[in-house]
Amino acid sequence: MKSRKKALPGIFLVLSIWLTFSLLHANIADSTEKVYYTHITVQPGDTIWQIAVKNAGAKKDIRSLVYEIREINNLQSVHLVPGQKIKVPHD
């Protein structure tokens, strides 16, 4: 029983180190993806949803693209102004 208690801190340490390196590797892999953007000038009547639909890839979820467009362009609202320039990510 005592040997198990002595082994637990070592097992915990090994698992902690493994988890830390796994998470670091995942973040590095995600951050190295190249993102390309299309620069769009908003036209009268354009909505973020319409722009996302026009620029989404075949497998891209429109909702997530709308979210990305808002995040990339620091849009606090979904309302666009004609003449406004926005970046839209694409594959």
Q: Which of the four pLDDT bands, split at 50, 70 and 90, describes residue 37?
A: very high
Q: Are residues 76 and 55 in the same domain?
A: yes
DSSP string, 41-73: EPPTT--HHHHHHHH--TT--HHHHHHHHHHHT
The predicted structure's pLDDT at residue 25: 65
For the entire predicted model, the pTM comes to 0.61
- How far apart (Å, rounded) are the C-alpha atoms in residues 40 and 87? 6
Q: Is the pLDDT of residue 44 over 80?
A: yes
Which domain, by its residues, includes 8? Answer: 1-33
The predicted structure's pLDDT at residue 60: 81
Q: Are residues 47 and 64 in the same domain?
A: yes
Q: Give the CATH number, domain containing residue 49.
A: 3.10.350.10
- How many domains are there within the chain? 2
Q: Which of the four pLDDT bands, split at 50, 70 and 90, describes residue 5?
A: low
Please tell me what DSSP assigns to residue 74: T
Mean pLDDT of 18-45: 77
